[in-house]
Amino acid sequence: MLRWLFAVTVLAGQGFERDLQPIFRTHCYGCHAAAVKMGSLDVETHEGLMRGGNQGPIIVPGKAGESRLYLTLTGALEPFMPMGGKRLGLSELEIVKRWIEAGARPDPGGLVWRGRVMAAGWGGEIRVLDETGRVVRKISAHVGTVRGVWLSADGRLAGASGGGVARVYEVATGIEVKASEIEFEAGLVALSPDGRRRAVLAEDGSVRIYEHE
Ligand code: HEC
């Protein structure tokens, strides 16, 4: 039997890669991708989308009606997007809206548990958590979207992989260090070192911890 130790609300949202990327790929990449950034906007990755363009952020998490991303798609705000193209279908607009309303979250990028710390991949970050699931440090991973995370046995070093790159950081300082022969874990469930508890990375970025009774 597993007992749920820490209760966290999990909102059912839209997945960035599953639901949003196909829409942007079809309608936007021609002008807003890593290679062509019109208006300095790159909608290819979650980080790019959250960074926004020349006029700053285009998303207010939780509020589609205040997000320039959504308003330029409905035509409520100039310039209309996709520029020179056809308005997105109603179901596509609804997907963008629901994703923003649910918090404009990235897709979870892995979870590991070593010693008394955990590391979770979240968008472009490595989030380091203590044994209660509380975030104690956020490290910019500089690997694009984090696909897998790693922790040294003593919990002092944390790493992330993504976009064909892997980087390792000192947890205490967030400074990058060189490390080799590391196995990155991409699963969203991690077992505590003593094997008695299990942590699950939820889609709101929090970590739920369960204990065997
Ligand atoms: C044909 C090229 C083209 C396409 C396709 C296009 N855009 Fe744009 N977009 C632009 C240009 C150019 C700008 C900069 C406009 C400006 O600065 O006045 C821009 C600016 C923006 C902005 C910033 C507006 C602001 O107020 O800061 C958003 C948001 C945006 N685009 C979203 C999108 C989305 C989402 C798509 C796909 C559904 C898309 N665009 C498709 C050319 C395009």
Cα–Cα distance measured from residue 171 to residue 192, given in angstroms and rounded to the nearest whole number: 19
Lowest mean pLDDT among 5-19, 55-69, 75-89, 197-211: 5-19
Residue type, 146: V
What pLDDT shows up at residue 7?
37
Lowest mean pLDDT among 36-40, 85-89, 118-122, 198-202: 198-202
Dihedral sign for Cα atoms in the order 166, 171, 176, 177: negative
- Beta carbons within 8 Å of 166's beta carbon, 6+ residues apart: 143, 159, 160, 182, 184
Percent of the chain scoring above 70 in pLDDT: 93
Residue 182 in this model has a pLDDT that exceeds 50: yes
Mean pLDDT over residues 65-89, rounded? 96
Residue 10 in this model has a pLDDT that exceeds 50: no
Cα–Cα distance measured from residue 120 to residue 199, given in angstroms and rounded to the nearest whole number: 10
Ligand 1 mean position, distance from CA 122 (Å): 26
Ligand 1 mean position, distance from CA 212 (Å): 51
Residue 208 in this model has a pLDDT that exceeds 60: yes
Cα–Cα distance measured from residue 24 to residue 189, given in angstroms and rounded to the nearest whole number: 30
| Burial of 109 from C-beta contacts in 10 A (0-12 / 13-18 / 19+) | buried
Residue from 21, 28, 59, 66 to probe ligand 1 pocket by mutation (most atoms less than 8 Å from CB): 28
What is the atom index within ligand 1 of the atom nearest the CA of 96? 35
- Beta carbons within 8 Å of 205's beta carbon, 6+ residues apart: 105, 108, 120, 122, 127
Cα–Cα distance measured from residue 64 to residue 19, given in angstroms and rounded to the nearest whole number: 16
HSE (side-chain half, CA atoms, 13 Å) at 41 = 23
Residue 153 in this model has a pLDDT that exceeds 80: yes
Q: Is 127 in the pocket of ligand 1 (CB under 6 A)?
A: no
CB neighbours of residue 203 within 10 Å: 18
Cα–Cα distance measured from residue 25 to residue 60, given in angstroms and rounded to the nearest whole number: 22
What pLDDT shows up at residue 23?
96
Residue from 24, 28, 32 to probe ligand 1 pocket by mutation (most atoms less than 8 Å from CB): 32
What is the atom index within ligand 1 of the atom nearest the CA of 77? 26
Q: What is the mean pLDDT of the chain?
A: 89
For atom 17 of ligand 1, the residue with the nearest CA is 39
